[in-house]
Structure 1
Amino acid sequence: MSRLVAVGPALPGRAHPQQEIIDTIGPLLTSDPVRRAALTRLQRSSGVRTRHLALPLEQYAELTSFGRANDLFISEGTTLAEEACRTALSRAGIAAADVDFLLFTSVTGISAPSIDAALVGRLGLRNDVRRMPSFGLGCVAGAAGIARVHDYLAGHPDHVALLVSVELCSLTFQRGDDSTANLVSSALFGDGAAAVVLTGQNHPAGRVGQGGPDVLGSRSCLYPDTADDLGWHIKDTGFAIMLSAGLPQVISENLAGDVSILLAEHSLAREDVTTWIVHAGGPRIFDAVAAALDLHEGDLQVSRSSLAAVGNLSSSSVLHVLDETLKLDRPAPGSYGVLLAFGPGVCAELVLLRWGVPE
C-alpha cells in the first residue's frame, strides 16, 4: 500500500474561450470553408468551454518548425512543472530534499536531459534522487504514473515519491492539416501540468496535506490490434495525431471486464466503488465509460467539468480530475474509488483507491 498525500495542478496563462481559440487557430489549419465549418461543429460538440495555452494566441502563427515548438516545450514546460511540484509539496507539507523518487512524464515534447533533471536544481531536490522520465504513454500516463510510483513505494515503504506530468498539447498542432483527427485535436486538447506526492505506508507524512486516499493496487491493459487508433505519427513538422473513431468501441468492449478483474483481486465488486476519477478524454469517451460501467450522470460530473474548464490535458488530465475530486467533501472512511485513463496502444490503466481514517 502507498498513500496519495497531495496533488498540485498548474495551468499556463489565462483561460481562453473556445471560440477565441478556434478563430485564431482555424485559419492556420485550413482555408477550406467546408473544413472550417467542420472545425466549428467539432468545437461545439467537444464539451470544452475554455482552455489554457502555453503561448499567447497571436504567437501560434509564428510556430512554423518542430525545433522551435520543442524548444518552447522545454522552457515553458519546465516552468509549469516547477509550479506544479511546489504546489504539491507545499500541500503535502514535505520538503523537496525529502523526495526519494521522481517520475516525470510527457508526450508533447522531448529533451535530453529530460525536464525532471532541471527540476532537481530548481526545487532543491537531492542530487541522489532516483529519476525515471517517461515518454509515449500519452493520456494514460497520469494514471500509469501513480501505479508505477505505487509499485516503487511497495519496496520502499519509508520513501517519498513525486510524480510530475507536463503536457503542452497546443505546441503539437499541425499547420495546414485539415484532417479530421487534427481538427478534433485542435478543438479538444489544452495545456497544463500536475504533480502528485505519494509516500510509502511507513512514512509519517502519509496523512498530511489534502488527506488523499491509499493506493491499493492497479491493473494495466493493452488491447491487441489497436496501435493505429491513438498516438503520434512523427513527421518533419512534429507530432501528427492519430485518433480513430473506433476508440470508444475499444473501451466499450474491454473496460468492464478489466475493472471487474482489478476489483475481484481485492474481493470487491463494482457496486463497492463510490468514486470514479476518469480521464477527461472527451464526450464520446465519457459515454463509453458510463455505458461500460453502468455509471450514473453524477459519477462523471467532476471529469466533465474538468473537460469544460481546461480541455483534455493528456496525461495531466486525470490528475486534474483527481485534484478536483479531493477538493470535494471527503468520501466516507473505508470507501473505494477507481482512477482510470486510456492511452496509445490502445491501453488502459486502472488504479484502486481507498479512503481511510487520518492517523
Structure 2
Amino acid sequence: MRPSVISNNSPRVIGTGTALPGNYVDQEQLSSRLRELWEKRYSDLRRFDKIQGALGITGRHLALPIEEYIPLDTFAKTNDAWLRVAPEIGAVAAELALERAGLKPRDVDHLFFVTVTGIAVPSIDTRVISALGMRKEIKRTPIFGLGCVAGAAGTARAADYIRAFPSEVAMLLSVELCSLTLQREDLSIANVIASGLFGDGAAAMLIGGNTPAATGPQVIATRSLVFPNTEEILGWEIVDSGFKIVLSSKLTDLVRANILDEVDSFLATQQIDRSDICHWIAHAGGPKVLETLEGALALPEAALARSWRSLQSVGNLSSASVMFILDELLEDNAAAPGDYGLIIGMGPGFSVELVLLKW
C-alpha cells in the first residue's frame, strides 16, 4: 500500500494550550478525605489504602476547593458546579492555544468540543465562544460520550474537517472535571480506583491547513476502532446521583490482546513500523494501562515517560490527557523535523483512536 502524500496543506497542529483549576490537593490529603467518607461502611480499609497507594499519583487539581464538595449531594448540584467552572478553564486553555498560534478568537472557523463529565444544553462551547468573542458564524460540533478517547478522536475529526476546508482553522477543546462525578455511595472497587485516579483540567488544540509558516506536526493519518460487544468494559452508568463509573478488570486484557496488531497494521498503511515512532503520546489511563501498553507494544525504556509524568502529577484527565502530553512535547521542542509521533487514545466502547503525526 502506498503511503499518504504529505502536502503543505495537510492538517497541522498550529497551537496548543492547557489549563488546570487552581485548587491543588496532594494525593495523601485526598485519600485521607475519601477514607473518612467511607471508613464506617467499607469492609476492607487496608485494600482501600493499597489501591490508592498503587496509583502512583502525587496530587490532583480540583474544580472546587475541597470543602465545597461536601454539600454536593445530588446530580443537579454537581452539574451546576460543572456549568460554572467548565467554561472558565476552557476559555483559559483556548486563549493560550490562540496566543501560541498567533491567532485571534475570530480566526477560528469550527469549534469541536469534547467532554464526558457534565451536561449542558446549549453545550459549554457556546459560553466559551461568548467569553472569547468568537464570530457568531462559527461552526460547532459538541461531542459527548467518547470518554477518555475523545482527545485523540477529536484531533482526528478536526483534521478531517481541515482536509475538506484547508483554508480554515479548527479548534478542539476538551474540558473534564472528573472530581464532580464522585459517587459517595458507591463502594465498588471500580469507584475506589476512579476516586483516586481521575483529575480535572482543560486543553485546547488548533489545527490549520494553509499554514506554510507553522512548525507544528502534520496529522498524516488516523484510524478509529470500536470493538463489538464491549460496552460493559468502560463507561458510565447513569444513576440518580449522576455518573457511576463502569470499569472492568478485563480492560487491560482487551488492550493486551489487540493493541499490537492494530498499531502495526495502521503504521503499515504509511509504510512505517513501530521503530520509526520517536514520540509516543499515549493516554495516561492508569499504571496498569500504561504498563500493558509498554509490554504489548514492546516499547523502549522511557518511551511513555511523558504519559507516566502526566499521570503522576495531575492524574488521569480523561479526554484532555493526550492533549496535555502533546502540549508538553511541543513546548519542550523535543521533536525534530522528520520525526513521527503516535497518539493513542482509548475509551468506552471499547474504542481506540490512533493519530499519526509528522514534524
The bucket for the TM-score relative to the shorter chain is over 0.9
1:283 to 259, 284, 287: 287
Query: Pairwise CA RMSD of aligned residues?
Result: 1.2
Judge which range, 109-118 or 39-48, deviates more: 39-48
SS of structure 1 residue aligned to 2:62: coil
| Whole-angstrom distance in 2 between the partners of 1:156 and 1:36 | 56
For residue 22 of structure 1, the aligned residue among 25, 31, 40 is: 31
SS at match of 2:78: helix
Single out whichever of 317-326 and 26-35 deviates more from structure 2.
26-35
Give, in whole Å, the separation in 2 of the partners of 1:150 and 1:270.
23
- The superposition leaves residues 19-70 of structure 1 with CA deviations (integer Å, 9 ceiling, x where unpaired) of 1111123333452354433222111111211100001111111110000100
2:153 corresponds to 1:144: yes
- Separation in 2 of the partners of 1:56 and 1:121? 26
Q: Give the 4+ runs in structure 1 shifted more than 6 A.
A: none
Q: Partners of 2:57 and 2:141 in 1: how far apart?
A: 32
Q: Secondary structure at the match of 1:298?
A: coil
**What is residue 163 of structure 1 aligned with on the other side?**
172
240-249 vs 24-33, which moves further: 24-33
Q: Map 1:22-61 onto structure 2 (within 5 A).
A: 22-32=31-41, 34-61=43-70
Within the alignment, does 1:302 sit opposite 2:306 as a pair? yes
Q: Is the 8 A contact 1:220 1:350 kept in 2?
A: yes
Amino acid at match of 2:82: F
Deviations 1:321-353 (A, max 9, x none): 111111234322111110111000000000000
Map Cα deviations across residues 253-282 of structure 1 (whole Å, 9 max, x no partner): 111111112211111111111110011000
> 2:106 matched to which residue of 1?
97
Structure 2 equivalent of residue 352 of structure 1: 356
For the residue of structure 1 that corresponds to 2:171, the secondary structure is: strand
CA contact (8 A) 1:159 1:203 kept: no
Which residues of 2 match residues 47-196 of structure 1 at below 5 A?
A: 47-196=56-205
Whether the aligned pair in 1 keeps the contact of 2:42 and 2:187 (CA below 8 Å) is: no
Query: Do the aligned partners of residues 29 and 172 (structure 1) sit closer, same or farther apart at CA in structure 2, a change above 3 Å counting?
Result: farther
The 8 Å contact of residues 101 and 162 in structure 1, kept in 2 or not, is answered as yes
Pairing 1:327–2:331 present = yes
What do residues 260-310 of structure 1 show as CA deviations (whole Å, max 9, x unaligned)? 122111111111111100110001001111111110231010100000000
| Distance in 2 separating the partners of 1:46 and 1:165 | 24
176, 189, 203: which one pairs with 2:211?
A: 203
In structure 2, the CA distance between the partners of 1:62 and 1:162, relative to structure 1 (3 Å rule), is: same
Shift of 1:87: 0.7
Deviation track 1:232-269 (CA, whole Å, cap 9, x = no partner) reads 00000100000011111111111111111221111111
8 Å CA contact 1:160–1:203 kept in 2: the answer is no
- The alpha carbon displacement at 1:14 in A equals 3.6
Q: Give the distance between the partners of 1:77 and 1:305, measured in 2 at CA.
A: 24
Match of 1:268 in 2: 272
Structure 2 regions of 5+ residues with no counterpart?
A: 1-9
5+ long unaligned stretches in structure 1: none
Alignment partners' CA distance in 1, 2:95 and 2:290? 31
Q: Deviations over 1:101-133 (max 9, x none)?
A: 100000000000000111111111110101000
The percentage of aligned residue pairs carrying the same residue is 45
Q: Equivalents in 2 of 1:57, 1:42: separation in Å?
A: 21
User: In 2 relative to 1, CA 33–235 (structure 1 residues): closer, same or farther, beyond 3 Å?
Assistant: closer
**The 10-residue stretch of structure 1 (38-47 or 301-310) with the greater mean CA deviation from structure 2:** 38-47
Separation (CA, whole Å) in 2 of partners of 1:30 and 1:284: 26
Q: TM-score, normalised by structure 2?
A: 0.95
Q: Counterpart of 2:4?
A: none
The answer to whether the aligner puts 1:221 opposite 2:259 as a matched pair is no
Indicate conservation of the 8 Å contact 1:29/1:177, yes or no: no
Residue pair 1:48, 1:309 contacting (<8 A) in 2 also: yes
TM-score (norm: length of structure 1): 0.95
1:343 matched residue in structure 2: 347
Q: In structure 2, what residue type is equivalent to 1:182?
A: N
Task: Give the number of equivalent residue pairs.
Answer: 350
**Residues 39 and 187 of structure 1 are in contact (CA less than 8 Å); yes or no, is this contact kept in structure 2?**
no
> In structure 1, what residue type is equivalent to 2:99?
S
Higher-helix-fraction structure: 1
SS state at 1:86 partner:
helix
3-state SS in 1 of match to 2:275: helix
